[in-house]
Amino acid sequence: MFNPLKIFDTKEIEFHSKALVIISFLIFVVVIAFLLSSKFLSQDLLENGVGKKKIIAKKTIEVVDVQKTELLRRDVARKIKPIIIPIDSARILNGFYSLKENALRIKSEDSDKQSKYIEFSNIFDVTDPNKKEEVVNFAITSTKGTLSAIMQSTEIVLNKYLKQGLQDGEIETYTNPESIRDILGANLSNKQVDVISGILECVILPNLVIDDFATDVARQNAKNLVKPYTVTFKKGDTILKPDEILTQVKKDALKKSGYSLLEINRSGVTGIFLFTLLCALVFVFYVKFKQKKYDDHRYYLISGLLLILLTLISVSISSNNELSNYLMPIPAFTIIMAIFTNPSLAFIATIIFIALISSALFLEPQFITIFTFSALSSAFFVSKISYTRRQDLVKCGLYTGLVMGLFIIIIGIFENQLTLSAAVSSLKVASCAVLNGIFSGIISLGIIPIFESTFKAVTPYGLIELADHNSPLLSKLQCKAPGTYHHSLMVANLTEAAAEAIGADPILARVGAFYHDIGKLQKPFFFIENQSYFGVENPHNKLNPRLSKMVIISHTKDGVEIAKKNGLPQEIINFIQQHHGEALAGHFYNQAVQLEGKENVQQDQFRYSGPKPNMKETAILMLADAVESAVRSLKNPTTDEIENMINKIITERLNDGQLSDSPLTLKDIKLIAITFNRILRGMQHDRVKYQQGINELEQGNKIVLGQSEEEKLERKIQKKIEEKVQETKTNDKPNDSDKKDNNEEKNSN
């Protein structure tokens, strides 16, 4: 059975810590729910919509009577007549000419009466059966000349109607016999008039139509011209009396006076609490199952604190004024969350908050739409910024504000706000949105460093600062363990390139590689890469393999202690802990087997304490660390030797189960191997033997040049060599600070 409390379960905390996390979660939900409810807590003014006490206006207040204003606007819009536009009458006339031609053709045909009856019935499409029968019989019995004359009279009537214009619904009026007789005169018989009326019914159509869009625009413009109907409460006037029903006007007046009126009963408060709880659980579940990397109490604390601050600000500035609602610093929340986590998680968190705040504060749909696009644009722009320049956050906020302003204007156009006053209003709101974006960028710029240091959470900006080789730890590593330092640089190049190849975080991978071996600062001379630099004998030659193993393996534990002492974030500490996983210290294990016998030595005694890598970046570091050391041990390796060594190291780690906890796929491992091979081949390129080139040049000159030229060349070469030797001596001469460092080093040794 699924236990929802397991969403807080982590490997680092015990049962009592879980309880603390759950309590913190509930406190967060209660705080958010209280902030959302506090805006509308009743001040004991109303009971069931009826006033309980007398409220006097403390200042002059003007309130728009929304209902009356809307009634006035509807009345004005109703008086606007539909806008009629003409359409081309050619289609109607062409239809009549076609009918006339077919009728005269049928009349001219030498066919029997029955055939003509059928044909005339087909072309005279009259709705009334009796009138149709009358028209068909007239066409059959009359002469061709009479039929042609009737058609001519019908054309006169049709042209007259089309010229003055026909609207839908006027067809019956224009096809009745009286209207036709008014145009043609009294010379026609009733039967002929009825026939003309029937023929007109076959072809006549409206040539004037209502332009719905233009009519709606005209009515909307008329509405916008109506000034809002305002009600003024002067200082000292009574706004609300006891037992008086609260109208919308009085409600708005009380709100402007600073009173909170929405009566939230216990069920209402419970509803807001449950909705807040649901939103929080949705966020936590999403992090737990889709963003496991951020399933850490630090990121929950950052998210919770940001949400509390954002809710407090939003509730404080929200009002019926549209301008203030668009000053809510929601873009700042998205930007900060995207920096500490990633854009997709920041977008989801913002959408959840927008749903919560808009529902609790009853904000308009336009608010939801615009801030949804704000969250999307903020997440997008953050993903494109350069982390070497913190001021890019302000640009990100500016671009987000511009997107919000653009959508505000578009929505204004969509709502047919085409008047000057409506356009000015939209521009004001859009300007507020742009300012909101700029201030959000500035707020993010100030808050991120504070949260970085407070919660020890790593961001790309923090990683860039940690990557500075002048930082205290890296400077110390460069001085006390130069071999380890240069090894870390090479491993960092490999790790960064491989992380980028498989879609991991290259910045985190590179910085983690810089610090992965800082534990060697405790005993730098016990590691072979530093022994040749200082010219010391390998101390392991005089130690028992088990003791050597303890010294070597302890560098991960020492590294963790140094990292914590220097305030490195947990993400970097993971690289220090996991870069060897639970791998076997094979060299000392084999020595112990040779000395004590295989039956007396257990592999578990010679393994690192772990844990195994559980991130892509730390798994890449494990492979890069081993591969770089192994390839460095080869003398003038060929391309095939490098490739074979890479494959051997990776295969050994796979077979040993060191990558079992990492999310690397076989495709990732293949890409990592290819990247290692490419980088290492570049590192192992051949060099020109400069001394040999000088000797060859001398030999060549002896053959080509004469004796005098040869002597000049020899003197020139000799002079260059002497200058180089003198320069080397000058550089090797220690200064006072170097002597002091050397004395300190000797004393420490």
Instruction: Render pLDDT for 399-449 as a digit per residue (tens, 0 to 9).
Output: 999 999 999 888 887 766 556 666 777 888 899 999 999 999 999 999 999
Q: Inform me whether the pLDDT recorded for 299 exceeds 50.
A: yes
Q: Inform me whether the pLDDT recorded for 13 exceeds 50.
A: no
Reported confidence tier of residue 172, pLDDT bands at 50, 70, 90: low
End-to-end CA distance of the chain: 61
- Dihedral angle of Cα 433, 435, 440, 445, to the nearest 10 degrees: 160
Least confident of 229-243, 371-385, 560-574, 699-713: 699-713
Q: What is residue 725's predicted lDDT score, i.e. its pLDDT?
A: 46
The helix or strand, by DSSP H or E, that contains position 240, with its residue range, turns out to be strand 238-240
DSSP 3-state assignment of 238?
A: strand
DSSP state of 600: G
Reported confidence tier of residue 39, pLDDT bands at 50, 70, 90: low
- Cα–Cα distance, 301 to 304 (Å, whole number): 5
In 535-560, which positions are buried (b, 16+ CB within 10 angstroms) versus exposed (e)?
eeeeebeebebbebbebbbbbbebbb
Q: How many CB atoms lie within 10 A of CB 243?
A: 8
pLDDT digits (tens, 9 = 90+) for 726-749: 554 444 444 444 444 444 433 433
* Residue 90 exposed, middle or buried by CB count within 10 Å (0-12, 13-18, 19+): exposed
Backbone angles phi, psi at 258, to 5 degrees: 100, 10
- Cα–Cα distance, 698 to 688 (Å, whole number): 17
Higher-confidence position of 413 and 699: 413
Higher-confidence position of 2 and 584: 584
pLDDT digits (tens, 9 = 90+) for 501-557: 999 999 999 999 999 999 999 988 888 888 877 777 888 888 888 888 898 999 999
pLDDT digits (tens, 9 = 90+) for 89-105: 777 788 888 888 888 88
Among candidate residues 18, 16, 38, 37, the one with its CA nearest the CA of residue 26:
18
pLDDT digits (tens, 9 = 90+) for 317-367: 876 556 778 889 999 999 999 999 999 999 999 999 999 998 887 788 888
Q: How many CB atoms lie within 10 A of CB 687?
A: 5
Higher-confidence position of 256 and 467: 467
Q: What is residue 48's predicted lDDT score, i.e. its pLDDT?
A: 60
Least confident of 25-29, 84-88, 212-216: 84-88
Query: For the domain with range 462-683, which CATH number is right: 1.10.3720.10, 3.40.50.920, 3.40.50.300, 1.10.3210.10?
Result: 1.10.3210.10
List the beta bridge partners of residue 64: 230
Q: Mean pLDDT for the chain?
A: 80
**Winning range, highest mean pLDDT, from 496-500, 592-596, 630-634:** 496-500
Instruction: Report pTM.
Output: 0.61
List the beta bridge partners of residue 232: 62
Reported confidence tier of residue 491, pLDDT bands at 50, 70, 90: very high
User: Hey, where are the domains in the chain?
Assistant: 4-40+264-457, 84-210, 462-683, 690-748
Among candidate residues 697, 3, 82, the one with its CA nearest the CA of residue 285:
3
Q: What is residue 58's predicted lDDT score, i.e. its pLDDT?
A: 66
Query: Average pLDDT for residues 603-623, to the nearest whole number?
Result: 91
Angle between helical axes of 365-384 and 420-455 (0-180°, round to 10):
50
Angular region, 59: left φ>0, alpha ψ -120 to 50, beta rest: beta
Q: What is residue 693's predicted lDDT score, i.e. its pLDDT?
A: 44
Query: Average pLDDT for residues 127-147, to the nearest whole number?
Result: 80
User: For a pLDDT cut of 70, what percent of the chain falls above it?
Assistant: 81
- Cα–Cα distance, 204 to 181 (Å, whole number): 17
Higher-confidence position of 349 and 141: 349
- Tokens 């000049």 correspond to 712
Query: Average pLDDT for residues 23-27, to the nearest whole number?
Result: 87
Among candidate residues 636, 639, 659, the one with its CA nearest the CA of residue 649:
659
- Tokens 């308009």 correspond to 364
pLDDT digits (tens, 9 = 90+) for 645-688: 999 999 999 999 999 999 999 999 999 999 999 999 877 655 44
